[in-house]
A and B are shown apart, each in its own frame.
Chain A
Amino acid sequence: MAHETTHSTGHPANGHEPAHHSISATTCLLVFAALVIGTVATVWTASMDLGAFNTPVALAIAIGKATLIILYFMHVLYSKWLTRTVVIGSFFFLIVLFGLTFSDYLTREKTREIPALYSSDPLLKQQ
């Protein structure tokens, strides 16, 4: 019977099944505490004038909270590498989206010698 053979060997590509899939209640509550502390830290740091560092600090806390949610709540810590590849790939393409966009916008000031971009002709001029 096909049922018996497949069941005994499991999935051939992934021999090791995780012992239990869901996280324990203690882990869950620890992550919850970390997320609440992160939220308080976000509000607290935003109330201070850190100059150019306000947004990097806020983003660092947000990325930390997001990582906790992805790893523990969304089980990526316990998932197969095929699933992890999809997760990593989606954020890779997000970085490509940001990277290519800002390789344009952050370098526009340095391209004044291109006349069409900064012409006084309103048809040619672009911001």
Chain B
Amino acid sequence: MSNAHSPVAHHFYTIEQQKESATIGMWLFLATEILLFGALFTAYAVYRYKFPDAFMVASSRMDWKMGGLNTLFLIISSVTMVFAVSSAEKGRRGGLLGFLAATGFFGTLFLVVKYFEYMHHYHDHDVPGLNFQWTGAPELANGAQIFFFLYFFMTGLHALHMVVGLGLLIWIFLTAYWGKYSPEYYNPVEMFGLYWHFVDLVWIFLFPLLYLLGAHLPPGGGHH
């Protein structure tokens, strides 16, 4: 029988069964997330099929260096998250706290870069519904506006996932600091890791599809 301090909840037989259930439950949640972002990628594909040139020219207004830097920040934060989970598995509380802090640091850097990118787009009048002004070829204006709408929707939803992730990370960090996890029980750390890697995964597709469409165009190709 499980006592009050056992990490196995009363409705599970073994700790393995509990862990397996958590993993499947987390992946079912991620399945809904894949389809949520999948619907947006579908919308992107449909409108890019309709406005291929406008998407290419509008995309050349992106700063791919910022996007690339953020890709690296997310990859590094994913790696530190893997080390955080393996520290938890080995019962190394110091390592767990350190790697969680590193994950949070690189996640925060991502959002800081994203903030400067959004500010830059705001000053460039790239925000549909707020101040969108297209100075390029007039026949591309509609498609470019749809591109920027999708850019802000997709990266905005992704950034929201980052904010939620950093909130969860603070909770995981605090509970780890209070010594809640052991080599037998670190489910929340591992499930949070799955979420964090998923958010990285989405960005891996967002980066080439939003930032790099016009990278082969001559410099300033979309600016007039």
* A-B contacts, 26 listed (Cβ < 8 Å): A1-B1, A3-B2, A11-B17, A21-B89, A22-B89, A25-B86, A28-B82, A28-B83, A39-B72, A46-B215, A47-B215, A49-B216, A54-B213, A58-B208, A62-B204, A69-B201, A73-B197, A74-B198, A80-B23, A87-B31, A89-B31, A90-B30, A90-B34, A93-B31, A94-B38, A101-B46
| With A21-B89, A69-B204: A90-B20 Cβ-Cβ less than 8 Å | no
Q: Is B68 an interface residue (CB 8 A)?
A: yes
> Interface on B for A, CB 8 Å cutoff?
1-2, 13-14, 16-17, 20, 23-24, 27-28, 30-31, 34-35, 38-39, 41-42, 45-46, 49-50, 64, 68, 71-72, 75-76, 78-79, 81-83, 85-86, 89, 193-194, 197-198, 200-201, 204-205, 207-209, 212-213, 215-216
Chain B interface secondary structure, helix, strand, loop or mixed? helix
B5 to nearest A CB, angstroms?
A: 14
Using Cβ atoms and an 8 Å threshold, which residues of chain B touch A97? Answer: 35, 38-39, 42
Contacts of A106 in B (CB 8 A): 49
Residue among B1, B82, B207 facing the most chain A CB atoms (10 A cut-off): B82
Q: Is the CB of B14 within 8 A of A7?
A: yes
- The distance in angstroms between the C-alpha atoms of A80 and B19, with both chains bound, is 11
Instruction: Tell which of B16, B31, B81, B194 touches A11, judged by Cβ atoms closer than 8 Å.
Output: B16
Task: Indicate if the CB atoms of B13 and A6 lie closer than 8 Å.
Answer: yes
Instruction: Check A43 against B212 for contact (C-beta < 8 Å).
Output: yes
Closest 9 A-B residue pairs measured CB to CB? A90-B31, A46-B212, A58-B208, A22-B86, A46-B215, A49-B216, A6-B13, A86-B27, A94-B38
Decide yes or no whether A123 CB sits under 8 A from chain B.
no
A interface, CB within 8 angstroms of B? 1-3, 6-7, 10-11, 14, 17, 20-23, 25, 28-29, 31-32, 35-36, 39, 42-43, 46-50, 54-55, 58-59, 61-62, 65-66, 69-70, 73-74, 79-80, 82-83, 86-87, 89-91, 93-94, 97-98, 101-102, 105-106, 127
Residue of B nearest to A28 (CB): B82
> How far, in whole Å, are A3 and B12 apart by their CA atoms in the complex?
11
15 A-B pairs besides A98-B42, A101-B45, A105-B49 with CB distance below 8 A are: A22-B85, A25-B86, A35-B78, A39-B75, A43-B68, A46-B215, A58-B209, A61-B208, A73-B78, A73-B197, A74-B198, A89-B31, A91-B34, A97-B38, A102-B45
